[in-house]
Amino acid sequence: MARPKPTTFDKQKTVAENRRARFDYHVEDKFEAGLALQGTEVKSLRAGEASIAASYAEVRDGEVWLINANVPEYSHGNRLNHEPRRPRKLLLHSREIDRLFGAVERKGMTLVPLSIYFNSQGRAKVELALAKGKQAHDKRQTIKERDWKRDKARLMREKG
């Protein structure tokens, strides 16, 4: 019998976060994917150096790849250091890959990485979101709601 999946991801140490993704996209669904890494990439990630601001994921030949994620070279690495912006394979179940592929193809959705982190067992994971792009008026509405929440909290603090 399979072990039930946790509802929230077990994030112990967040390495990189794509904070702009929630502003630019409507996040529909989230997935946790493993990362296939080379040796010096793990050391560089453990040092807290990574950027996923301009990255995305795509489904190619039945596999999911993380494109344009920057994991800088490890400072104490030798000639066997890794390439910083190489495509990295994401490890997902085939059922999840089929679901992602169908959503991207039929519904015109995008696969956006939200964060890279290490779980409680020390494995590097990517929080991947199935998202739909926001229009300019949606972004303005988001800003308006955020400002109102901030003002409301300020008023509640002042009035008591």
Report all structural domains of the chain as residue ranges with CATH numbers, in order of start.
Answer: 13-134 (2.40.280.10)
pLDDT digits (tens, 9 = 90+) for 71-108: 888 878 777 788 888 999 999 999 999 999 988 888 88
Q: What residues of the chain score a pLDDT lower than 50?
A: none
Q: Which pLDDT belongs to residue 36?
A: 92
Q: What is the pLDDT of residue 109?
A: 87
Q: How far is CA 108 from each of CA 51, 68, 159, rounded to the nearest angstrom?
A: 25, 20, 47
The pTM for the full model equals: 0.80
